[in-house]
Structure 1
Amino acid sequence: MKHLSIFILILLIFSCGVNSSSESRSSYADFTISMDTVVVDSGDEILMAATTHLSHYFNDNFSRLYFWDSRSHSTEIIDLDELKLLEKRPFEKEGPNGIVRFNNGLNILSNDKIGFSEWEKFSIANSKGEVVERIKLNEDWIIKDLKEKQNLRADIFLENERVIFNKVADLLHVSSKILKLDFRQQQVEWIALPEFEKRDNFTLEFKPDDGSFYAVIGPTLNLTKFKNQLIFTTDALNAIYKYDLETNSLTFHSISNTLTANEKSGVYKNLVTTQGEFGENMDKINEEVTFSDLFWDDKNDVFYRFTSFNLPRVAKEKLKSRVFISIINKDFEVIGEKEITEIVGQVPVAQFVKDGLIYCYINIDDELGYVRMKINN
């Protein structure tokens, strides 16, 4: 499965317009998009990061991609500058250096260390695969305010400050409250995101009467570190919370698009007992708007966000979607937007922005590739 890095230039240029109020304050009143495709050189290895866009983690400057392969119990590390696999770093399954097979995510730390979000602990391993620290997440001072069956998912670890921001989850859903843990002071802080409680309206619980199966699916809640701030997003709402790490203050920001709705709004049956009900409700929810994360472009000082919604399925035809891109300034104002359905063909799986290019995951003949989009203004 050896591929050399491929550079396929596809110049797809089109004009994009926005309303006059944006036009007066933005150079993105009219812009074009160019795209190319690149493929990662996996050498003689089978690259499992190519099989899914989930569980991809990056260092701060997006020069490295880390992917946990639970089958081989190793982390694939990819050089995003050279577009090649660097190593598959093995880990032990048990013992003092043991890492659990299924974890809740990685944190990429200094000196090539990796933090693993595990059940009731956060484990830090060095470049040799040795566990150098385990931080317990079930100490009394931590769990005293948790409800029964709630658990913590360590999401962002601030290494120098010894602070972890955790999602709080139970069997049904992820809470709209974040738990901040300060391990130096042994202090907890609950960060409430009340607007994100709307996510619960679009959570589906599938529980057949015979008890043979159980599933829950619902909108996301994501945390992203942006400079000295954290950005909280959900795919159900065109709005964000910003947490300032210096002042420990939280602010809410609505983002207003003119080409699409700005939130899901339908009324659904949250508990269903048949496969038919589950599929019908899921289809209807996906026909409402869905929002990507915000992707910061430090070269052009703007965020990008993709908005999409599925079209009603016609017989056995392939599922179709409409796709839009928004350009958003630091004040979370939309300064450019356009439908790009005819250009991209399907909803882009955007992951990060590097050197002014939006990197969107794609599987090319079982190899990891990226469609790179450039906004030309």
Structure 2
Amino acid sequence: MVLNQYNFKFMRYLILIVIIGVSIACQSKTSDLGDAEIAYSVDTVRIDSKGRLLDLKRSILISALDENSKSILLFNENDHSLDEINLDQLEFSGTYPLEVEGPNGTGKNVNSINLLKDGLLFIKSNVVSAIFNKEGKLLQRLDWRNSLDSSGQKYNDVPNTEFLLNSSGLRAFGLNYASGSNKVFLDVLWVQDSIIKRFDADPKDSYKSFILKSEDPQYFALMNPYVYLGYEGGVITVGHEFSNEITLWDSDGKFLKTVEYDPNLTPKRVKPSGIVDYPTADLLFKDYQSYMEQVRFGPPVWDKVNQRYLRLSAIRKFSESREEGALVPKNTAEVYLSIFDSDFNLISEVYVPELDLESKKYFTKDGDLWVFQNLDDELGFLVLSF
């Protein structure tokens, strides 16, 4: 897989108050944005793992929320299983083993999961795209390769990123990258009909502007912007990390619009280097660092309680020290929260000093924003209420 709607009251003096209710000892912060003041409070919650060794690598990005945000399934690479966390009780509630090989095999490298109706789940791995039950039984494979495209030819490919919708017929959505043209496509598979339609996921050619490539014979390097694919607030969302543009699609693959906005606290996009081919990989990594120093965007998430979208972004601050094997020096991040109405109109922004990174799992629950935290190797969340 995995990063919404807002009801705001405008006071007489044009002060927007966003109140974050917190249960345990919490902090209250305010941030000035011109003539608007956003007040929020923060709570840290810790999950009782009950002795289970949860997999916190990759900031629990390989995970899936249920429809009401009551629980979350986390992929556990340690024993190739799914761990269920009860978000109401704040505790581990069970494990669902998966098989790597055999008739119910998922393959070793699981890339994403998403929950469907009736307790079923969709798993995308390096070898399979399929529907499983929670007992790990494979119920249905998706056959992208043998499905037909709009010209009647076999697709003969598998998308890099996928998720499955189970409303009015199974439809799979996937991202495919055309290296020759540096384009990103949104491919939609109608599972029952084995028909695929392709759409331009980057109609303004934003993605290709940020591809960094070096054919240095000592160190070939290719760094593409990370592209987000999600289903939030009833629409398909596609965007990437170095520009705030978001393209929106309906559940049939119909293009709706491209969202662009002018933030006050961060740039709206990175300024591209304009270099087609770097002479050395070192120069490429320096520009990649420069990109992250400008701005980096996370995906939008939908808050169905308040009918709004939320999105994190960050500006990285780099030190002089570098860990062995790291591409860039150690860094910290200034993290910002952007709030949109249900039509993706930007309402407000706030700097959130309590957050240290935008590239981690975050979601909404009961009108609050929950952001993954590693609390001394225990699972926790920072909960923003506003």
Counterpart CA distance in 2 for 1:171 and 1:203 is 10
Question: Is 1:328 the counterpart of 2:340 in the alignment?
Answer: yes
Residue 385 of structure 2: aligned partner: 374
Counterpart CA distance in 2 for 1:139 and 1:85 is 40
Counterpart CA distance in 2 for 1:299 and 1:286 is 32
8 Å CA contact 1:65, 1:79 repeated in 2:
yes
Residue 177 of structure 1: aligned partner: 185
Residue 9 of structure 1: aligned partner: 25
Question: What do the CA deviations read for 1:189-226 (whole angstroms, capped 9, x no partner)?
Answer: 2121334632222223355414xx65533222222212
Counterpart CA distance in 1 for 2:67 and 2:104 is 26
8 Å CA contact 1:224, 1:231 repeated in 2:
yes
User: Aligned match of 1:129 in 128, 136, 139?
Assistant: 136
Question: What do the CA deviations read for 1:120-173 (whole angstroms, capped 9, x no partner)?
Answer: 6422111221111122121051593758xx532352212241111111146799
Q: Which moved more, 1:352-361 or 1:296-305?
A: 296-305
Indicate the structure whose relative CO is greater, using CA pairs within 8 Å and at least 6 residues apart: 2
- TM-score scaled by structure 1? 0.83
Unaligned runs of 5+ in 2: 1-22, 323-328
Q: Which moved more, 1:178-187 or 1:270-279?
A: 270-279
8 Å CA contact 1:310, 1:321 repeated in 2:
yes
> Equivalent residues in 2 for 1:146-295 (5 A)?
151-153=158-160, 155-160=162-167, 161-169=169-177, 175-195=183-203, 197-205=205-213, 207-210=215-218, 215-245=221-251, 248-269=254-275, 271-272=277-278, 274-295=280-301
User: Aligned match of 2:67 in 41, 60, 63?
Assistant: 60
8 Å CA contact 1:221, 1:233 repeated in 2:
yes
- Partner AA of 2:299 in structure 1: D
- Partner AA of 1:49 in structure 2: L
- Partner AA of 2:375 in structure 1: I
Unaligned runs of 5+ in 1: 1-6, 20-28
CA change 1:82–1:226 in 2 (3 A) is: same
Quote the offset at 1:110 in angstroms: 1.9
- Partner AA of 1:40 in structure 2: I
Quote the offset at 1:46 in angstroms: 0.8
Quote the offset at 1:175 in angstroms: 4.3
- TM-score scaled by structure 2? 0.81
Residue 102 of structure 1: aligned partner: 109
- Partner AA of 2:384 in structure 1: M
Counterpart CA distance in 2 for 1:35 and 1:172 is 46
8 Å CA contact 1:16, 1:32 repeated in 2:
no
Counterpart CA distance in 1 for 2:216 and 2:158 is 25
Question: What do the CA deviations read for 1:47-102 (whole angstroms, capped 9, x no partner)?
Answer: 11366333122222222222222331211221122121122211222221122011
- Partner AA of 1:259 in structure 2: L
Residue 358 of structure 1: aligned partner: 369
8 Å CA contact 2:232, 2:300 repeated in 1:
no
CA change 1:187–1:127 in 2 (3 A) is: same
Q: Which moved more, 1:353-362 or 1:116-125?
A: 116-125
Question: Is 1:86 the counterpart of 2:97 in the alignment?
Answer: no
8 Å CA contact 2:148, 2:155 repeated in 1:
no
Counterpart CA distance in 2 for 1:282 and 1:58 is 32
- Partner AA of 1:356 in structure 2: G
CA change 1:229–1:135 in 2 (3 A) is: same
Q: Which moved more, 1:186-195 or 1:354-363?
A: 186-195
Quote the offset at 1:354 in angstroms: 0.6
Q: Secondary structure at the match of 1:137?
A: coil
CA change 1:37–1:206 in 2 (3 A) is: farther
Counterpart CA distance in 2 for 1:105 and 1:345 is 24
- Partner AA of 1:126 in structure 2: N
Q: Which has the higher helix share?
A: 1
Counterpart CA distance in 2 for 1:172 and 1:151 is 17
